[in-house]
Structure 1
Amino acid sequence: MQHTQPHNPTRKKSVGVIGAGFAGMAAGAILAESGHDVTIFEKNDTIGGRARTFSEQGFTFDMGPSWYWMPDVYERFFERFGYGVPDLYQLKQLDPGFAVAFPDDESIDVPADFDQLCELFEKIETGAADQLRKFIADGEFKYRVGMDDMVYKPGHSITEFMSPRLLGQALQLQLFSSFSKHARRFFKDPRLLALMEFPVLFLGAMPKNTPALYSLMNYSGLKQGTFYPMGGFGKVADSFQDVALRAGVQFRTSEAVEKLETSNGRVRYIHSTSHSTAADVVVGSADYQHIEHALLSPQDRHYKDSYWVERTFAPSCLLFYLGVDKRITRLRHHNLFFDQDFGLHATEIYEEKKWPTAPLFYVCCPSVTDPSVAPEGHENLFVLMPIATGLPDPEPIREHYYQLLMDRLEKFAGETIRDRVVLKRSYCVSDFKNDYNAYQGNAYGLANTLRQTAIFKPKMRSPSVGNLFFAGQLTVPGPGVPPAIISGTIAAQEVLKYLNS
């Protein structure tokens, strides 16, 4: 087996990064730009992590992320390397930002213009326009404080959050208030509440268990806007790789890390499928639990099996990638199907952990916006149903839900679709496990409950191995692409402190 030694160890340090998702590429780019030798190991044959793509029969499918919110996070990252987003990909604001389907064949287009959105709320519920302005202003305050003062902290200790400014703003941030109760102080109509709560269901936990702090997501989606990178989210992942390559990062795809060899409380070698590479520092941006339990010896692990069993995970998903040989008139780019009981589905995900009775689901139709992702006259569909982690997902179960979801999609669309599907692929719990070593097949990481926020998340620096750091959705700040970018940024900063100490 080939052994690789660090290059110029007196001046540079050798850094190994596990995983070429957004967190790993962000960390790797910053560390390489700072003058270190960085190698990113990726078990799959393409980069991007959950933001991988695949192309077949003229269709290009984003396999994971499809919502582009919090645009300033992307801008902030690229600016540190001297790039603007327009230098790397074309960003288009969607109008409507998304559509929501409700019972009785009712649907609402959510306009990009905020004043128009206020008018829409007022039509649904008297007084809701003023309430929305107040709700979003509150969310904007939380967003500004969060982005400026909170989210870029590593979460080592409560002392990070003890500044006079943060202490003075603690009550306004509503870390100890329920999102569900907070939303209900502003709105009564169940349709408006669904609009407020959907990001929590898809990325968090039960709304009653999620801090009201996360109304900052509503500010981003409804006021900053919903965007789309032309060509798909894969273009964003490609841009991160381009930035990393220009900074000097080496990528090793189709090369899984099999063991981290330690001595005296430090990683000494990264053993992959084809190399043994000496490392001064390791950043693990793959699944945290997998790195600890599959790559480290028992004496080097910090979190026991029981720790992970007791965590509250954000959902996994059942996904369908569908190529359709006709256009579907009624679909928007983003379509949320809230035509069933929100509370029941959330309970079945988070509390009962069972396959849902009457699920909510989401359909992305990027070909509405982007002709490059499907052949002319065709539609590209990405269908997502949130489910509990750890569920068995054999083909008969997947097919049962495919038929159930397509029944409702066809009813909404007012036309048949299944008979025009020319490409179909499913993706579920076992695929997340196989492709990403995802604990229990999680899709989004840990839920943003109060007891799993900031200092209560798994530690970014290993408490057991001195030169092992973590990034990604199972550590700070949490699930989603912008938090993954932030996580990689924080991890890199922590590594630089360690190397300079």
Structure 2
Amino acid sequence: MHNGRLPKSDKSHEIAVIGSGFAGMAAAAMLAESGNEVTVFEKNCNIGGRARTFSQDGFVFDMGPSWYWMPDVYDSFFSLFGKSTSDFYELKKLDPGFAVIFENEVMDIPANFDAVCDLFESIETGSADQLRKFIAEGEFKYTVGMNDMVYKPGHSVTEFFSLKLFKDALKLQLFTSFSKHVRRYFKDPRLLALIEFPVLFLGAMPKDTPALYSLMNFAGLKQGTFYPMGGFGKVADSFRQIAENAGVNFLTCQNIEKLEVTSDVISHLHTNKKSIRTDAVIGSADYHHIEQNLLGKNHRTYDEAYWENRTFAPSCLLFYLGVNKKIDKLRHHNLFFDEHFDQHAVEIYKDKKWPERPLFYVCCPSKTDPSVAPEGSENLFVLMPIAIDLDDPDSIREKYFDVLMDRLEKFVGEDIRSHVVYKKSYSVSDFISDYNAYKGNAYGLANTLMQTAIFKPKLKSSKVKNLFYAGQLTVPGPGVPPSIISGRIAATELQKYLNK
């Protein structure tokens, strides 16, 4: 399925897509390309979902995603429309890909994999060979996972019943803990932190995450870390262009208030402005919001207790900062692991409280891209992962701003605060108001075993025949590449339904 376009529709249908994030735009583009009339409804007044941008005083800020991994997923999507990544933006491989800052040292992660192996060896004897084995396993998981499994709709376990897939599934280590798996290869706490960081930011406690997700380490350490020149907003814009070229109509500032269901089929959408007839709906907005707030009780697949019992990936506290000088010591991506990983993870996933000694991340895209800041200035995006459902008044945000800036200034050895000419914070309550995000989650559901593949909220509504879901709360999961894939699967399943 993922190698080709959708078959042409038998006849044109009116399809509504709720939400203009990557999942919604990917689904809309494919459905329009196959001959349907597709309208995307976006409650915000600009397109892109969490990948929106804003400009202020000569700074261009990406509001959400900043890591570009798995470039093949983007390439594969563009190729469906006879396009390639270079038609839309220039992709630059970062070197170093990122830096990890420990208490007394900085570890730059080189773009070249052999150099990464040398770096590991310099920290722990024998770990270069171990890393090669660990990454080869990750590559196998990536190849099988990204080609054979991730494009499955997750309706039932029978999708994995071909013998080859079943054997491969065992090798994917769904039932092994990531934490145990990593510790078979490495002992040094710095190497462990480096390998485990994608899990902290995207999912769950490493001990609760399947070892399958070492495919993330293959993406980060072997494929490398890229940057789309102009910022991640350029990527969102390329999806909008593809969708519009395929005939998709975008309606912004349009909040869906109700889905009207007749005989278990959605017949109309009611927005804050009008009522629209439809043949089918893809809900790429927050799954919980669509079910609990737009559908009547009889048409919900999951009740409130179901959502209460899910494990969510983190929310975060973000600061967008414009700084009127250059900061020499920062790299493009900077991970501050100068405090204990385990304690922060417990505070996110178990205690669910504001962290005492948080890890955090600083993105400085102006290191690579002069277009995102005025000359002689830096554009900073500071992110601290936190638990969902926390109160986030300005007083708490300011307290953590000072905590993070104390550590950042100590690391760079210079004053930053008095050079901040623009500052905006963003946290739990903003995720709720802008995206209807359940309890203010930033990344969807955590990647635990019981929330992987067929155990995720279903892509197809069990109560409403013409309602399909896409995005980070359904298959395959959080992150931009999985969201793109989610949109593709939802479009394919919806087209099957329409062609029945």
Q: What is the TM-score of this pair, normalised by structure 1?
A: 0.98
Unaligned runs of 5+ in 1: 1-8
Q: By how many angstroms is 1:120 displaced? A: 0.5
User: Match of 1:209, as an amino acid?
Assistant: D
- Alignment pair present for 1:22 and 2:22: yes
Aligned partner of 2:40 in structure 1 is: 40
Alignment of 1:417-432 (within 5 A): 417-432=416-431
User: Match of 1:103, as an amino acid?
Assistant: E
Q: Secondary structure at the match of 1:318?
A: strand
Deviation sequence 1:31-88 (CA, Å, 0-9, x none): 0000000000000011110000000000000000000000000000000000000011
User: Match of 2:480, as an amino acid?
Assistant: V
Q: By how many angstroms is 1:177 displaced? A: 0.2
Aligned partner of 1:474 in structure 2 is: 473
User: Match of 1:22, as an amino acid?
Assistant: F
User: Match of 2:21, as an amino acid?
Assistant: G
Aligned partner of 2:94 in structure 1 is: 94
Q: Secondary structure at the match of 2:165?
A: helix
Deviation sequence 1:224-269 (CA, Å, 0-9, x none): 1100000000000000000000000000011111100001001000
Q: By how many angstroms is 1:301 displaced? A: 1.1
Aligned partners of 2:178 and 2:214 also within 8 Å = yes
Aligned positions, number: 492
Q: How far apart, in 2, do the equivalents of 1:117 and 1:448 lie? A: 26
Q: How far apart, in 2, do the equivalents of 1:138 and 1:335 lie? A: 26
Q: By how many angstroms is 1:148 displaced? A: 1.2
Q: How far apart, in 1, do the equivalents of 2:81 and 2:301 lie? A: 35
Q: By how many angstroms is 1:223 displaced? A: 0.5
Aligned partner of 1:107 in structure 2 is: 106
Alignment of 1:300-311 (within 5 A): 300-311=299-310
Q: How far apart, in 1, do the equivalents of 2:170 and 2:480 lie? A: 27
- Alignment pair present for 1:350 and 2:322: no
User: Match of 2:396, as an amino acid?
Assistant: I
Q: Secondary structure at the match of 1:462?
A: coil
Alignment of 1:3-152 (within 5 A): 11-104=11-104, 106-152=105-151
Q: Secondary structure at the match of 1:68?
A: coil
Q: How far apart, in 1, do the equivalents of 2:72 and 2:361 lie? A: 25
Query: Identity, % of aligned pairs?
Result: 70
Q: Secondary structure at the match of 1:44?
A: coil
Q: By how many angstroms is 1:171 displaced? A: 2.3
Deviation sequence 1:153-211 (CA, Å, 0-9, x none): 01000000111111112221100000000000000000000110000000010000000
Q: Secondary structure at the match of 2:92?
A: strand
Aligned partners of 2:259 and 2:266 also within 8 Å = yes
Aligned partner of 1:461 in structure 2 is: 460
Q: How far apart, in 2, do the equivalents of 1:149 and 1:302 lie? A: 27
Q: By how many angstroms is 1:132 displaced? A: 0.5
Q: How far apart, in 1, do the equivalents of 2:446 and 2:166 lie? A: 24
Q: How far apart, in 1, do the equivalents of 2:230 and 2:147 lie? A: 31
Aligned partner of 1:394 in structure 2 is: 393
Aligned partners of 2:101 and 2:336 also within 8 Å = yes
Q: What is the TM-score of this pair, normalised by structure 2?
A: 0.98
Aligned partner of 1:297 in structure 2 is: 296
Aligned partners of 2:392 and 2:429 also within 8 Å = yes
Q: Secondary structure at the match of 1:38?
A: strand
Unaligned runs of 5+ in 2: 1-8
Q: By how many angstroms is 1:409 displaced? A: 0.2
Aligned partners of 2:10 and 2:499 also within 8 Å = no
User: Match of 2:44, as an amino acid?
Assistant: N
Q: How far apart, in 2, do the equivalents of 1:86 and 1:144 lie? A: 23
Deviation sequence 1:416-462 (CA, Å, 0-9, x none): 10010000000000000000000000000000100001111101000
Q: How far apart, in 2, do the equivalents of 1:151 and 1:254 lie? A: 33
Aligned partner of 1:5 in structure 2 is: none
Aligned partner of 1:200 in structure 2 is: 199
Q: Secondary structure at the match of 2:292?
A: helix
Q: By how many angstroms is 1:10 displaced? A: 8.6
Moved over 4 A (4+): none
Q: How far apart, in 1, do the equivalents of 2:255 and 2:91 lie? A: 33
Q: How far apart, in 1, do the equivalents of 2:331 and 2:21 lie? A: 28
Q: How far apart, in 1, do the equivalents of 2:474 and 2:211 lie? A: 20
User: Match of 1:165, as an amino acid?
Assistant: K
Alignment of 1:213-362 (within 5 A): 213-362=212-361
Q: How far apart, in 2, do the equivalents of 1:120 and 1:453 lie? A: 33
C-alpha RMSD of the superposition: 0.8
User: Match of 1:231, as an amino acid?
Assistant: G
Q: How far apart, in 2, do the equivalents of 1:492 and 1:72 lie? A: 20
Deviation sequence 1:442-491 (CA, Å, 0-9, x none): 00000010000111110100001000000000000000000000000000
User: Match of 1:476, as an amino acid?
Assistant: V
Aligned partner of 2:369 in structure 1 is: 370
Alignment CA distance shift 1:85-1:240 (3 Å): same
Q: How far apart, in 2, do the equivalents of 1:11 and 1:350 lie? A: 48
